Structure formats: C-alpha cells, structure tokens
Amino acid sequence: MADLVAGVDSSTQSCKVTIRDADNGAVVREGRASHPDGTSVDPRHWWDALGTAIADAGGFDDVAAVAVAGQQHGMVALDAEGRVVRDALLWNDVRSADAAAQMVEELGREAWVTRTGLVPVASFTGTKLRWLRDAEPENAARVAAVALPHDWLSWRLRGFGPADESPNGPDLDALATDGSDASGTAYWDPARKAYDAELFELALGRPMRVAGDGSTDAVVVPRVVAPDAAMGTLDADVTLPGGTVARAGLMVGAGTGDNAGAALGLGLGPGDVAVSLGTSGTVFGVTDTELADPSGTVAGFADATGARLPIVTTLNAARVLEVIGGLLGVDHGELGRLALAAPAGADGLVLVPYFVGERTPNRPDATASLLGMTPATTDREHLARAAFEGMLCALADGLAAVEATGVTVERLLLIGGAARNEAVRTIAAQVFGRDVELPEPGEYVAAGAARQAAWALTGTLPSWDIATTTVPADPRPEVLERYRDAVR
C-alpha cells in the first residue's frame, strides 16, 4: 500500500488539507474549514480550523507525514507559558506602515537589501514587532517567543502549547520554521541562511536567541529546518479541536510559506514565473541567482528548496472583482461576461484598484480611483472591463519588476481561484502580452506542502505531473500603458 502524505494550506481565508499518494501525488481525499475575516486574528481560530479540515479530509490515521504551509509574515507572539500574547497581526494589516518607514530610515534601503533581501514594508513581521514595541509596550514586555502562522500550527500539531491544552507543554525551544517563511520576517538573511540578531533587536527592542541554543535571557525565534528535513515525529497522540487525533509516529515536515508552497506544488524551476490571483495577488518565480532590489518592489525571499523566490505582492487582486461585482450586483461569472462585452482598454476607462491601500507600490493609505469616465464609458460593461484590467495591470507591473532583477521568464503560469474565470484568462493574455499557461485547478499551496512532506518521508523530492492548457498571447500594450499613466 502506498504511503500517504498530507499538505496543509492555512491561508488568510481558510484552511485546506490535501491527502495524497506520496509517489505520484494522486489526490486521495481533501478537506477544508473557514477562517474569520480581519487583519488581526486570534491564532486559536487557525487551530480550530485545522482540526475541522483534517476531520473533513477523513482524518490522519493512515497518513505517514504532514507539512504545513501558512500565510507569511503574521506575528504570533507567545509568552513564557506558550500562550498567545495578543491577536496575530496578519500580513495585510497595515498599522505598522509608519514603523516600517522608521526602520528603513534608520538603516537605509541598501543595508536592508544586503542583509535581508528586502526593504521593510508594513507586511513584514519585523515591522509589526516595532509597532508592538511602540504601541503596546506591556504586551511587548510579555513576549517570550515570536513565531509565524505555519511555525505555530506545526508546534501545536507536534503536541506543544499551553500546559492545560497540550501533552508536551510550552516548550518554546521546540519552535521550528523553514527558510522560506523566515525570509519574510525582515530579520533573516536568505543569502547567509541565518538570523540577523541586530535587526530583530532593532524591531522589538530586545535580544533574540534561536530555539535550542541553551540560553534563557532572550526572545526565542524558531530554529530553521532544512527543506528536506522534519521538524519532528509525534511521540504520542495529539488531540486536535473537535476530537480529531494525530497519531504517534506522524512525521511533521519543515513546512513553508504559502507562496513557496505554491511554487513547490507547481514544480516551478528557473525560468518559470507564476501569477497567483487570490484576494491578494502575487508574482513569483524561482532562481539560483542572488537578488537585490533596493526599491523594495521585489522581495528576495527563499523558496522551499534552498533556492531564491523573488516575489511581488499586491493587496488587491480578486478583491477588486468582489468589490465591483458587489457594486453591479453580479457574481464573478457574470462580471466576466460583462467585461468581455467591452473592448480591450475599456475605451479609456481605467480603474486604479487600491481599495485597501497597496503594498506594491508601497502606498498603505491609498484609495481606489476611476479615471476616464465619459457618457460612453460609464456603464456596466466598461466598469467590469476596467476592474479586470486594473487587477491584471497591477500584476503586470509586478512581473516587469521581477524581470528587472534579472529573472528570465520563459513560462508564465496563472493560478488562484480567479484564474478560472474566462475573462481573467482572456485579458491576462492581452495585458501580459505573452502565452499564459493554466495548470489544472487545484490547491497548489497544500500540494506543495504535501510534496514537501513526501520529501521528508522518503528522502527524495517527488516529481508530480500537472496538466496545463495554454492561452495564446494577444498583446494589447496600450492597456498597460494607459494604466501606468494613471498610477504615476
């Protein structure tokens, strides 16, 4: 009987679990559960959702190994008893924008890029720690360890946590992470593959130590596990919320950040770039070369294999379709049909889609704008078209920024829930001006985590086939040019 492995995608919106054949990646069963809305969330909701999603997937009794991929950057602060100090600030919480600006001013962009591969913005964990230090000093003083969402969930799954909630208790030295997630903190160097203790102290105002180093007078950060290694193996049963049990002997892999998980699930290699359309949007690729973008547009994260993952993130992707669809009273499908009834370029109507501010470009306080309104363009069809084009043009700028770092784009893949919309596919081939490959629908973050679990279990990273279709390039450069004029 083939070994089964599980992959978890604990995203902003939900928890997805996929159970697969470790050899060929065939899906055996899946489950999911919702997360609450908001940019500040009690991590207990993630733990509850994990138990529900595992149960929905039929449990883990026959699963040999699991890995967790999680939303990046979220600040999970723990006290000495293993309890969460305050609600986790998620990646899309922009209250630390001023803190980020202060940190950039203190060291300069070049220094940040050299030491971390990125320039701090509100998304990154380090800026949230600075905000905590300044805005909630009493909470900051209680912090005994800082973890990320995937670190914390993996720790809980391995049986650690508050003494009254877990069999192994609050052993903070058991915290672990991987390089991809650590590289999004703004205090880990993906080139040296090491924490930068000075930058951590710059953020929180207190010294740090790596879990397991033996000292006790500093804030714990998780040890970084190699991509093909395991965080550990359960030595006793762990009961999750809802009564689901993870059995003794279950191996827990290193896990990863969500975008690195998607890259691993897609099997990306050098020359491949993916555009992911969730509530937020990302453009990311894989490269073996060093990365440096002092502008801060491209973050030079680590991927889930030991290579680099240049990435650009926007706060507004499918969110744009939700807002405009809600305004017009239609679902995504009907919004797409309206959009395709209008010409490319929407006769000059341009939507700048900064509905919740923006991360790239770094404009946390920005708002959305609609330009080029005339009697001829102010109708449902043109507005729908402008929504799709605005969303995709923002990501086309992200793709251009990734290319500007020296990354070669030989294959462009489009993923995420919104990629299933015919209008998205058609307009993407126009805005990007190149062939767009569409992998078969799937949960690629969870798939990447499952593939990583198989790697830890067998010692070999498996190759799992993915079917794709191609939408031929249909360049309409005037659409992107008009958008760029609007956002200058």
- Encode pLDDT of 29-59 as tens digits: 999 999 999 999 999 999 999 999 999 999 9
> Which tens digit of pLDDT belongs to each residue from 57-94?
999 999 999 999 999 999 999 999 999 999 999 998 99
Distances from the Cα of 257 to the Cα of 180, 183, 212, 423, angstroms: 6, 9, 22, 29
Handedness of CA 19, 230, 191, 463 (dihedral sign): negative
Q: Are 365 and 356 in contact (CB under 8 A)?
A: no
Active site residue 42: no
Residue pair 88/149 in contact by the 8 Å Cβ criterion: yes
Residues 443-469 have a mean pLDDT of 96
Q: What angle do CA 218, 221, 224 make, to 5 degrees?
A: 140
CB atoms inside a 10 Å sphere around CB 235: 12
Length of the chain: 488
Q: What is the pLDDT of residues 417-447, one digit of tens each?
A: 899 999 999 999 999 999 999 999 889 999 9
Q: What is the pLDDT of residues 163-172, one digit of tens each?
A: 999 999 999 9
pLDDT digits (tens, 9 = 90+) for 386-414: 999 999 999 999 999 999 988 889 999 99
3-state secondary structure of 296: coil
Answer yes or no: is pLDDT of 1 > 70.
Answer: no
Which tokens belong to 249? 């002997």
**Buried residues in 7-40 as b, exposed as e (16+ CB within 10 A):** bbbbbbeebbbbbbbbeebeebebbbbebeeebe
**Pairing assessment for the beta strands 4-10 and 63-70 based on DSSP bridges:** parallel
Mean pLDDT, range 237-259, rounded to an integer: 96
Q: Would you say 44 and 84 are in contact if contact means Cβ atoms under 8 Å apart? A: yes
Average pLDDT over every residue of 275-302? 89
- Span 295-315, average pLDDT: 92
Largest CA distance in the chain: 70
pTM here? 0.92
pLDDT per position as a tens digit, 110-140: 999 999 999 999 999 999 999 999 999 999 9
Q: What is the pLDDT of residue 55?
A: 97
CA-derived radius of gyration, the chain: 22
Catalytic residue, candidates 258, 272, 293, 397: 258
Give CA–CA dist 413/266, Å, rounded: 9
